[in-house]
Amino acid sequence: MTSDFDVIVIGSGPAGVSVAFPLVESGLRVLMVDGGKKSDVPLPTTNFLSARTKDAEQWKWLIGKDFHALKMRDVVSPKLRVPSQGYVFDEFEQYNKIIGKNFNIFGSLATGGLSNAWGCGVSRFSGKDMTAFPFPESDLEPSYAEVCQRVGISGGMGDDLSDYFGLDKYTHQPSIPMDSLHARISQCYDRRRKKFHSRGFRMGRPRVTVFTKDAPERQACDYSGNCLWGCRLHSLYSSADDLPKLRQFKNFSEMSGFVVDGLKNNDGIWFVEGQNIVDHERKSIQATRVVLAAGTLATTRLTLKALNFRSSVRLLSCPTAAFLLWLPSSLGAAKEPGFGLAQLSFTLALRENITVFGSTFPTTSLLRSEFVRHVPLQRRYAIDLLKGLMSSCVVGNLFLPGHLTTAEARLNEEDSLVVTGRYSDEVLPLMEETKKKLRRIYWRLGALLLPDGFTIASPGADIHYAGTLPMQKSPRIGETSQLGEVASLDGLYVVDGACLPCLPGKSHTLTIMANANRIGVALAKRLKS
């Protein structure tokens, strides 16, 4: 029996394109399939502040023709309320048959996956982060270099987070200018950094996959503040922007708008079964190898179903919280356009093996409605208060390591993946300690953590999922090999977050991409030998 393709890659997100490049470059016949969701909401064409006062059509991208923002008012993250981002998350749970119980479920059927709506923050896993990996840190070195060159990284160099991020030698894009509020915080930190170090606190510039100088496929950031609402210049990295490069290879094919719901092996040939989203026509396509890059939850369901594995598997997810800071010295400051994503990042050591990672963002392009519910006043008074305060506020988020969420995934009798979870008993005390320490630290940085301005999100809200099918040196059923190959299912590989054996609080997307590239290089050599 012969197959239609050498390799089928399921998913066009960061892991999917990262594994695809070495495969197609080796000459293998590669097919990439994805859900094919795309946005039909117009993006703002001028900077956010100008658009808010002059754009007569702003309601289309602020509210949505179908009132998307109002329908989603109770969801956990502002990005889920943005009409132009709705397609990223649309129908993921239904098509992939995933059920959350006390656990937020997020994933994507979009071309480019969740990279259409991420914060672009990147970090490298250190040797300490990788102690649970079945191969040494050095094995990822060539792949980190390859991926960083492709995505383009801007950020600080030689600051107090250089060792934490581990990316200075890959940072080729100029740094993004800070707004006046973050510049003030940074200056205060620089004057007293040794005292902050003694408290376990370090601050620096985030490393982000943002172009700050023009390239043929992506233009330089124009600092319009539209990052949350949609980047028309493609300055922010999305794996969808890598697809034109892959399409230049004659041995690369795509099947967009196709959702996979089953995998079967017959005499060494893999059959990938699913349906088209538009007409629901069922199809089956064949390959000698299948690579799963559909996102941790979808990949887990497809793998467990192929194994007919009914036991629970552990899921890693980072407990997360958000907080609001007010800079009294900047009260009355004029709003200014600028970069809308993270402008400063920090780490806070709580225990020997627990470090909090977080970042702060401008509030310029956020609506006051995002904060009203967290102000301990009646709604009308909260709106009036925030009207005067917002221009002197920054908002932050933070993450704890993923092992602190107690979560599991399991196939039920209907072959749906049921994900249940809660935070471990350590999380609330750690969050309370973090809040107290950050309140003191930021006060010394000239910022006040507002009352009720620290909110712990519910499990799964981080969208940092990993570890359900971890790589091991000697994998058992429900685990994967050092190359992501599923134990007992020869020719089926996992390259997304599902195969990571651990999940620190730092950004993990870049490591997923590097690991996918590493697996792609090894698989290409294996198939071409």
Per residue in 308-348, pLDDT (tens digit) is 999 999 999 999 999 999 999 999 888 888 999 999 999 99
Residue 470 within a domain: yes
Decide: 3 and 18 in contact? Cβ < 8 Å: no
| Of 63-67, 159-163, 468-472, 518-522, minimum mean pLDDT range | 63-67
Residue 177 within a domain: yes
DSSP 3-state of 408: strand
Q: What is the pTM of this model?
A: 0.96
Rounded CA-CA distance 121/208 in Å is 4
Higher pLDDT pick, 21 / 391:
21
Q: At a CB cut-off of 8 Å and minimum separation 6, what does 216 contact?
A: none
CATH (domain of 296): 3.50.50.60
pLDDT of 97-138, one tens digit each? 999 999 999 999 999 999 999 999 999 999 999 999 999 999
Residue 373 within a domain: yes
Residue 478 within a domain: yes
Decide: 480 and 469 in contact? Cβ < 8 Å: yes
Residue 1 within a domain: no
Residue 2 within a domain: no
Residue 385 within a domain: yes
Rounded CA-CA distance 137/123 in Å is 14
Domain containing residue 176: 7-528
Residue 247 within a domain: yes
Q: Please count the other Cβ atoms lying within 10 Å of the Cβ belonging to residue 157.
A: 13
DSSP 3-state of 303: helix
Domain count, the chain: 1
pLDDT of 70-100, one tens digit each? 877 766 678 888 888 999 999 999 999 999 9
